[in-house]
Amino acid sequence: MPASASPVLELRAVRFVRAGRVILDDVDLRVLPGEHWALIGPNGAGKSTVLSLCGAVQHPTSGEVHVLGERIGRVELQRLRRSIGHVNPRHPLTSSLTIREVVLTGLTGSVELVQRWEADAASLARADELLDLLGLGAKASERWTTLSQGERGRTLIARALVTDPRLVLLDEPSTGLDVAAREQLLDTLDQVRLAHPELATVHVTHHLEELPRSTSHAALIADGRITAVGAATDVLTTDAVSACFAHPISIEHRHGRWSARAAHA
């Protein structure tokens, strides 16, 4: 993607303060179309707050946040949120919607189906197209309450994509998955990114093993500040990750995937 492309997401000198406590300080981040970012850091580093700003859920205390060309604070947030895909494994659905119905809730930005709302033929076709892409086409009529965690994860990716967003946010999407389900989910993310070359993503995780091969960029965050940012292969290194987590961690990058383990002298 040329450097002249308009950013999908841009944070400029962002500061976020809650109850007198500085959560983020002087955070800069610029995401272009087709880039796939990993946001990594220890618990309490500020990852979730960054993601909430990217998702137009919160306003910065100071600085600027631009999402899809709109500046937070100068745009109706609910409208902007409908243009952003969000994958959250803690999706709070408790009723027995079908897989297809869960995907369609992405069009209304709701957890449940909206009363007196009906999907048109094009929306139904789009939902089924995505379910086929994610290997769930034969299960479209099965109920959310009967799905495995891995199937739920893939359903939520389809839900995030049903509006054809330019930006998708992934909030620890591998949470609760066993190794096989995690690998299926990561393969799915690679397939989605290949099928949608203009799509930009931001993937929050604690674990480098949960990053798909298509990860192109990374930002490390600690104590509310970005400690390293750039191409993933430049940022996800032993020195940079050890500094971010304040602990010696040995990083390996093989066959397009990362792994981490404690480094011993």
For the stretch 74-84, pLDDT in tens is 888 878 888 89
Q: Give the distance, in angstroms, between the CA of residue 33 and the centroid of all CA atoms in the same chain.
A: 14
d(CA 161, CA 14): 28
Instruction: For each of the domains in the chain, give its residue range(s) and CATH number, in order of start.
Output: 1-83+165-265 (3.40.50.300), 91-164 (1.10.8)
| pLDDT one-digit tens code per residue, 121-131 | 999 999 999 99
Please report which confidence band the pLDDT of residue 109 belongs to, taking 50, 70 and 90 as the band edges: confident
CA distances from residue 20 to 64, 224, 226 in whole angstroms, order as listed:
20, 14, 20
Region for 69 from its dihedrals, namely left if φ exceeds 0, alpha if ψ lies in -120 to 50, beta otherwise: left
Between CA 8 and CA 198 the distance in angstroms is 10
Please give the angle made by the CA atoms of 194, 199 and 200, to the nearest 5 degrees. 115
Q: Kindly give, in sequence order, each residue whose CB lies less than 8 Å from that of residue 138, ignoring residues fewer than 6 positions away.
A: none
Residue 42: CA atoms inside 13 Å, Cβ hemisphere, count?
13
Closest to 101 measured CA to CA, from 148, 139, 133: 139
Q: Per-residue pLDDT tens for 205-257?
A: 988 999 999 999 999 999 999 999 999 999 999 999 999 999 999 999 999 99
- Cβ-based neighbour number of residue 147 at 10 Å: 17
